[in-house]
Structure 1
Amino acid sequence: MASSFSCSERTKLTWMLALLLILVMMLRVDGQSGFLSVDCGWTDSAGSTYNDSATGLPYDSDGKFMEGGLSSKISAEFIADAGNEQQKTLRSFPDGKRNCYTLPSAIGKKFLLRAMFSYGNYDGLNRSMDGSPFIFGLHIGVNFWETVNLTNLDPSLTLWKEVLTMAPANLLSFCLINLGSGTPFVSSLELRPLGDAMYPFLSTYVSVSYLRRFRFGDAAEYITRYPVDNYDRFWEGWSFSFNTYPWISLNTSRPVNRLNSIDVFQVPEVILQKATTLDTNYSFMEVSVEVGSNLDIRGMELLPIFHFTEIAGDIPNRTFNVYSADELLFQDVSLSPMRVESMYPTNRFLTNRFLSGSNTTSFMLRKVPGSKLPPLINALEVYSIVRTDNLTTSSEDVNYMKEVKKHYNLGRNWNGDPCSPREYTWEGLTCDYSNGNQNPRIVRVNMSTSKLRGVLAISFFMMASLENLDLSHNNLTGTIPNYELKSLKVLNLSYNQLDGPIPNSIVQRFQAGLLDLRLEGNPICSKGKYMYCSNTKNSKHVMLTAVIVPVVLVSLLVVLGVLWKVCQKGKIK
């Protein structure tokens, strides 16, 4: 029996609209799927996530992103006034010089990383107000990002730091550095993926640190963020500081025309539909940017990004110049109606732009002769450069060492990058930096007397750059893996519990003089007398003695013989 089925045009249209709606919803979900929000120090036996009451975004506990540290809650006197759940808990790191969070990312992908710090006198020491410095450092990956200075800061306040960066690998490290002036801590971490074309100046060598980000015109709230901004950037309301004459707020409901080829900042439309200008009797506006009294501005290089959209009418007469200090940045800025224009100094950063004795810089917008209308501005972002010149350790070496750590369940403070920066190299590792612009390689591992138990980890033999491996005085059992050694020159496995045959590949390298093998103190050496079963250093000493002593004796005999002949000749005469 056969049947036929036909769709009416209305049915087809209904299905098409339904599919389109599903596609839009999928795109919407995918747009948020890369968000990672971490509530540091938060633990809850009922689950590991919760939805933030303000944004609806899910927050995870931080246990799977770091090791060590102490979970704490802020003091009870500040709990009630906390703006969100993330401010109530934190994780501090009293031990170690460097402690890192490892966050999932994607190599070459651009991200916004935001860290928030709510002290809240969690330790009862009132450290931020006791008069002594309370400062610790931050690293993004293997590069110094910024310091967190909480000295003389009200403990009820929350400080936040943001960096825009390009991930060098599929994992992104955020590290807290103990500078000896207070215990590092963090309250929350938020990782937000950016569009590939956004912030085109970002590279593997250049990141930028947030200083201020303003929206102009009227704003209902001091901070505008997600879901208004799809990338969850924080926009501070300028009108909260300047909302009186001669400042004038403009707004429109008309859609903003974006040119996708040049709109690389994706400022939310609701922000571009509002602006701040001046009464027509005024010719210039000065935008002062204070970056915080606790920031070190010495040598700071700035990058301002101006966002303009003409919303006053279709035939405006508005042309202006933009200055930083006395330097003309942009000349004869004339905007097209309802079209976004974003401007920033290309291929350079601004230096020495802070007013003497202050942490304030300013930008001036001045109308040019002939312009009937004064300047206007919709949004402004100000960043400082973060040099990311340090290279990460070879990814192969990093993966192998992490496998070793997991294999032996090591309690060492091995987090962050093993070799970079140099002053934070993992304990027991020696790295080679001689290749200049290439990633550092691990050339020596010394884990002697480290209470290692179990079989010998294969990962050691997979490291192409490893030259010296010392695992002596542990409790390693089983046999030596039969892997072809790549560059290993010294293999010290003495005083363990290793047994079984030694692989031919290792024996051959030893016999050829390419490998210094040490196995004394293992059961394997009770089955025969082998050169590698004696103390290598003592063997060398005995060998040298065996060679040197005869030479010295022969030399003495020769000298005595010569003297005897000389004496005999003297007697004959």
Structure 2
Amino acid sequence: MAAQSRAKVGWTSIVCFIIISLKTICDCTEEESRVLASDVALKQARRKLDDIGGSISIDCGLPLGFSYTDEITDIIYTSDEELINTGVNKSISSKFKSGILPKTLENVRSFPQGERNCYTLKPLEGNDTIYLIRALFMYGDYDDDDKLPEFDLYVGVNRWDNVRFDNASHVVIKEIIHLALTGEIYVCLLNIGKGTPFISALELRHFHNTIYRTQPESALVLYRRLDVGSTTNQTVRYKDDSYDRMWVPYPGSGSINTSSTVDSLLESEYRLPSKVMQTAAKPMNINGSLEFEFETGDSSLKFYVYMHFAELEILQVNQYREFIIELNGNLWKESVVPEYLNSTTRFSKYPMKGSKLSFSLRKTSKSTLPPILNALEIYVLKDFLQASTDQGDVNAIMNIKSRYQVGEGWQGDPCEPKYSWDGLTCSYNGYDPPKIISLNLSSKGLAGRIVHSLYDLKSLQKL
């Protein structure tokens, strides 16, 4: 505790020194000096951005041994050849390639064979860690069929989402926040009889804390992540966002912005990018409300909402900004007072249902200024109830696979999702872990001693 106190005092002294020095140099007001000090401190704080070097960034369809650095993000993308042993590399049609198309979308890995094909990701952070997993898809007529496919995407043995396209140049981005219970994460593509599955890129990032409400039996699928009041048409991600979240521009009818850095002196737990928090939307009328509405189309869906605020204006003595938040006509959050150049987050403690999410931000009777909103995140809560195959059976079959060098298409979980490995038959009992009851290796050309792992398949009925 004493060491922490000394650290806080030391940092405060540094900031005060910067402010005093700036006042001496430029004859600024204390508030102006504070803003300048924030900018100076940010340059030092940039060194503290999360190191995503331990993350996974793969360009699917890139030949083995190839890699490159993205010109915008400086993220290094590598081939997926060592993460999956099925599929074929393809390149999108030349008519869809352009100078503005990200390089990650120029190649795809296609899976014309097998009902399911799975990537095996082994992040350095291991198990019991919250990961952001992002999959990107662009058809681009890579197969010269000019026919848009549709397929399902899974994390482990549970369905993540459905992938479909509006047209051949439509870029589909699927993102999920997932708590991994094991050191291996399977991302699987399932053929549902509506065309050949494929994937353009696959990315994995990790969080250092539990800011997003995930449990082992559930996950959060991204619905919206918006840079509200954005003054550009550019998506914000790493390096501006140390977690490499992608913030889509959402210009407002009225907006305010600042060139000063947000969260330079006190980092918020969400580590929000300053570039996003430097802009905000507000009503055109000073007495008006700020309205946002999203048609979800499914009343059974459950949502978690995160709203991020930061005051961007230096308020005068007679000015005050305070507002409430209503959701679908009911009070959701009261007395939100944004702090100047510091982020504040309001989130839902419990999931919300509704075929429509209608937000209304209204000023209180004490407020002289209208409400503002800097950023918004909405996630769909997905129940991950299906258990993976019995761990003892998994260990045994993995040893058999390794010993006999069989099962080229044996990827992901042996029994789930929906299809078991070739040569395996599994028993299923609701959401209980499936078990291997039959194993057929008669055509594998086996030789040598019988491995003891066969005896570890406790539920095996037929061999």
TM-score (norm 1): 0.67
Cα drift, residue 298 of structure 1 = 5.7
Q: Determine the structure 2 residue equivalent to 1:265.
A: 270
- Over 3 Å counting, the alpha-carbon distance change for 1:176 and 1:162 in structure 2 is same
- Over 3 Å counting, the alpha-carbon distance change for 1:90 and 1:290 in structure 2 is farther
Cα drift, residue 400 of structure 1 = 2.9
Q: Determine the structure 1 residue equivalent to 2:73.
A: 55
The DSSP-based 3-state class of the residue aligned with 1:155 is: coil
Q: Determine the structure 2 residue equivalent to 1:352.
A: 354
Q: Determine the structure 2 residue equivalent to 1:135.
A: 150
- Over 3 Å counting, the alpha-carbon distance change for 1:467 and 1:218 in structure 2 is closer
Distance 1:144 1:382 in 2: 19
Q: Determine the structure 2 residue equivalent to 1:406.
A: 402
Aligned counterparts, 1:309-320, within 5 A? 309-314=310-315, 316-320=319-323
What whole-Å deviation, never above 9, does each CA across 1:217-258 have from its counterpart, x for those lacking one? 34444201110001111001112xx3x5xx122325154378
- Over 3 Å counting, the alpha-carbon distance change for 1:112 and 1:230 in structure 2 is same
Number of residue equivalences: 416
Amino acid at match of 1:350: M
Cα drift, residue 59 of structure 1 = 0.9
Q: Say if 2:256 is the partner of 1:249.
A: yes
Q: Say if 2:451 is the partner of 1:458.
A: yes
The DSSP-based 3-state class of the residue aligned with 1:335 is: coil
Any unmatched runs of 5+ in structure 2? 1-43
**Contact between 1:320 and 1:367, CA under 8 Å: does it hold in 2?**
yes
Distance 1:29 1:332 in 2: 32
Distance 1:203 1:408 in 2: 37
Any unmatched runs of 5+ in structure 1? 1-23, 129-133, 355-360, 471-573
Distance 2:291 2:442 in 1: 65
Q: Determine the structure 2 residue equivalent to 1:37.
A: 57
Q: Say if 2:378 is the partner of 1:376.
A: no
Cα drift, residue 208 of structure 1 = 0.7
The DSSP-based 3-state class of the residue aligned with 2:352 is: coil
Task: Select which of 188, 194, 197 maps to 1:184.
Answer: 197
The DSSP-based 3-state class of the residue aligned with 1:455 is: coil
The DSSP-based 3-state class of the residue aligned with 1:399 is: helix
Distance 1:453 1:255 in 2: 64
**Contact between 1:41 and 1:187, CA under 8 Å: does it hold in 2?**
yes
Distance 1:221 1:288 in 2: 21
**Contact between 2:287 and 2:363, CA under 8 Å: does it hold in 1?**
no
Q: Say if 2:71 is the partner of 1:70.
A: no
Amino acid at match of 2:333: F
Distance 1:81 1:33 in 2: 27
Task: Select which of 412, 417, 441 maps to 2:413.
Answer: 417
**Contact between 1:82 and 1:88, CA under 8 Å: does it hold in 2?**
no
**Contact between 1:252 and 1:311, CA under 8 Å: does it hold in 2?**
no
Cα drift, residue 111 of structure 1 = 0.7
- Over 3 Å counting, the alpha-carbon distance change for 1:255 and 1:186 in structure 2 is closer
Distance 1:383 1:180 in 2: 29
Distance 1:298 1:186 in 2: 30
Cα drift, residue 427 of structure 1 = 3.5
The DSSP-based 3-state class of the residue aligned with 2:393 is: helix
Amino acid at match of 1:38: I
Distance 1:209 1:80 in 2: 30
Percent of residue pairs identical: 30
Asked which structure has the greater RCO (Cα within 8 Å, sep 6+), the reply is 2
Distance 1:37 1:369 in 2: 50
Compute the RMSD of aligned alpha carbons: 2.7
What whole-Å deviation, never above 9, does each CA across 1:74-115 have from its counterpart, x for those lacking one? 011112356121111101112222111111131111111110
Aligned counterparts, 1:101-116, within 5 A? 101-105=119-123, 106-116=126-136
Distance 2:209 2:305 in 1: 20
Distance 2:91 2:104 in 1: 10
Distance 1:462 1:48 in 2: 42
**Structure richer in helix, relative to its length:** 1
The DSSP-based 3-state class of the residue aligned with 1:404 is: helix
Cα drift, residue 181 of structure 1 = 1.2
| Moved segments of 4+, more than 6 Å | 24-27, 257-260
Quick check: which has more Rg, 1 or 2? 1
